Structures are given as C-alpha cells and as structure tokens.
A and B are shown apart, each in its own frame.
Chain A
Amino acid sequence: MVYHYYPGCTLKTKAKDLDRYGRKSMEALGITLTELENWQCCGGAFTMAKDEIATKLSSVRALADSRDGVLVTLCSACHNVIKQTNYAMANDAEFAMKANNYSKFDVPYNGETKVMHYLEVLRDVVGFDNLAKAVKNPLKGKKIAAYYGCLLLRPSKALQMDNPENPKILEDFIRAIGAEPVLYPYRNECCGGYMATEDQSVAAKKSGQVMDSAAEMGADMIITACPLCLYNLTKNAPGHQIPVYYFTELLAEALGVKD
C-alpha cells in the first residue's frame, strides 16, 4: 500500500514540527509517508457553495494523483478540505462533472481515493495497541487534554473520522503513549480560527474559553493537530499558562525518535 502524504503549506513553514515529528514517528512505526509531487495548497477552508469549482481543484488533483493508494493528511484543515472535496466528488454529480471536464484526467475521478488523517492511520492501520507496544518512553503521569477543534470532526457526514460529539481517537492516542487523557467540555468547540485576522478579540475570547475549560479539568498540557489552533491557543489566549503541543511531537518523544 502506498501512503501518499499531503503536508500542506503551513507544515512547510510555521508548523514544521508537526510535519517533521509526524514523518519520523510513522517511519519508526514501519510506514513511509510519500509526499505527493506537485501538491498545491488546499486553501485552508472548503468553500461550501456548489457552484465553486476552481477553489476545489487543488484538492481534486491531489486525490486523483493518489488513486493507487491512500491519501494521508496531517493538518486538520487540509484533512477537512480534502475529505469534503472527496465527498463532493463522490456525491455531487454536477460538481464532479465540472471538475472532471476541467481537469481532463486520463480516467475521470469520482471520489475513489481513500483519505485518512494521520490519526486514523495510527488507529486503523498501526493500531493503538501496537503503538502502545512500540512506545519506549511512556509519558507517565502526564494529564493531557485533547483539543479537536472543529475541522477534525465536522461535518461528520463527509469526514467520518469519529463520533463528532463524543470523539475518542485523540484520547485513545494519549493512552497509547502512556499518558492520561483529560476530558473537558470545550474539546470540540471552535478556537476562533481565521477570525484572528478579522477581529483578534473574538479569537482571544474563543481560545480563552478552551484554555479555561481544559485548565479547570486539571490538564498539564493540550495537544492539537492544527497549526491555527496551536497559534490561537498559545498567542491569542494571554494569561493562560497551559502549554500546547502538536500531537506528533509527543508521539516522537514517546517513540524515542525526537532529537
């Protein structure tokens, strides 16, 4: 099986750690992520309007180029955009026809590629039991709050990642690396997202709520898969001291491959 990998623009720039630790850890677990050639930025947000074609073509190309395997994403936003685009290619015949007319692939693409978030590869291919066995430095005694935010889970119709209101994939991950998951009410509420560019006070309010909620439940740290969540929680929630990490960094630490 080929694991095509779509890193996305932010993992090449501000979120290099998310990418680097992700690749190293997967390699240590016996899976090579092969970066797609010529991938283009997904745009960060899926445009919901049915008549928007051009904004979805970069995702369509990445999907069509991954037909011989699985397409793995790591950034929550890429995952969201690419899975929603794939869902539209499979379920919206008019959109698929237009995208295909434009793209002129040798064989038309209609949503056949399986898209998996990195966490889904850990759960469904590696298995959390096997991951636990591969852990060299268990993160014993650490109380970790998983932050899903919005883009990892919703809309569940298209993403089919986990139960959107009571997810457990990140908590299972936390257990597998030897730590203790902390549940808190705001784990799947929005951090304010790109509103940081429009009105920073909104992002600050939303991120502050998430941080307060995790702190109240006794978390030592928060983990995320999203560069924008990490940014908002660390920079737009002043006065909150809980550190925020990419989940791949803790994974690399647990596997003993963090340098």
Chain B
Amino acid sequence: MNNNLKEQVLRMSGVNPLKCMRCGKCSATCPSYDEMEYHPHQIVYMVEKGEIEKLMASPSIYKCLSCFACVERCPRDVEPAKLVEAIRLAVIRQQGQNHLKAKDIPDLIEADPDLPQQALVTAFRKYTK
C-alpha cells in the first residue's frame, strides 16, 4: 500500500471513497463493465485500501468512456469516474507513459477517414499528456 499515491489520487479526484455503501449501482450501469478487470465499485474500494499501484497497472483505467453514468447514478454522490481519471493521469503524467501516441494518429485516420476529429481529440485528451 502506497499512502503517497492514495493521497495524490484523493486530492486530484476530490472523491471520498468512505462515502461508498457498496451498492454496486455504478458497476451495474457502467457501459464498459464487460471490458473491465476491476469494476467501478471495486475501484472505489481498492482506492480506499490504497491499492493504487494495482489499479495503475490495470487495463481497466483505459476502458472508462467518461459517460458520467456512474457519477449521475451513484446514490451517495461518490463519483467513481473521477477516481478512474485520477489514476489514469497518475500513469500518463509519467515520462513515456502515454497510452496513445501522436505517431499512432495517422494510422487511425487511414483506417477510417470518416472518424470525426472529436474522437481523436477526446482520445488524445484522455490517453495522452
């Protein structure tokens, strides 16, 4: 358990995981549930336990669609997506850890010229520092 990292994630996200009552509603409504190794309600609990490094190494943090469903529908206003975002930023802010690289963009456009700018811009914002 790394207290520094936990502190950092809590500060960046502004989330208090202790508010969570583990009802699982966030995971039930998450459109990326099937794609995730750790699901939103588990992520909240893992942050509480300080298991940040485990989450930083998990592909789950790149599966969140930023759809805000868990933010809207959590009965305790925990806002799990903010934790996912903070953990992903803790990874990609490190040197050389960008998930999407500028050199990957031409291939994406070539694969589908109809891909709207919005998709690329958003992916870049989410995956790259």
Chain A interfacial positions (CB closer than 8 Å to B): 8-10, 13-15, 41, 43-52, 55, 75, 77, 150-151, 153-156, 164-165, 189-190, 192-199, 202, 206, 226-228, 230-231, 235
Within 8 A of A (CB), among B54-74: 62-63, 65-69, 71-72
Q: Is B118 an interface residue (CB 8 A)?
A: yes
User: Using Cβ atoms and an 8 Å threshold, which residues of chain B touch A165?
Assistant: 72
Q: Tell me, in angstroms, the Cα distance from A197 to B108 when the chains sit together.
A: 7
Within 8 A of A (CB), among B62-104: 62-63, 65-69, 71-72, 81-82, 85-86, 89, 100
Known contacts A202-B35, A228-B119; is-contact A194 B65 (Cβ 8 Å): yes
User: Using Cβ atoms and an 8 Å threshold, which residues of chain A touch B117?
Assistant: 9-10, 13-14, 227
Q: Is B126 an interface residue (CB 8 A)?
A: yes
Chain B interfacial positions (CB closer than 8 Å to A): 11-14, 31-32, 35, 62-63, 65-69, 71-72, 81-82, 85-86, 89, 100, 108, 112, 114-123, 125-127
Within 8 Å by CB of A196, from B11, B14, B35, B119, lies B119
Known contacts A43-B125, A197-B108, A227-B118; is-contact A49 B68 (Cβ 8 Å): no
Cβ contact within 8 Å between B69 and A49? no
Cβ contact within 8 Å between B100 and A150? no
Cβ contact within 8 Å between A77 and B71? no
Cβ contact within 8 Å between B122 and A77? yes
Within 8 Å by CB of B118, from A44, A50, A155, lies A44
Cβ contact within 8 Å between A49 and B86? yes
Shortest beta-carbon distance from B74 to chain A in Å:
10
**9 interchain residue pairs of minimum CB distance:** A44-B122, A154-B68, A190-B67, A150-B67, A194-B122, A44-B121, A197-B123, A14-B116, A10-B118
Within 8 Å by CB of A48, from B31, B69, B81, lies B81
Cβ contact within 8 Å between A10 and B116? yes
Q: Tell me, in angstroms, the Cα distance from A197 to B122 when the chains sit together.
A: 10
Closest to B104 in A: A197
Q: Tell me, in angstroms, the Cα distance from A43 to B13 when the chains sit together.
A: 19
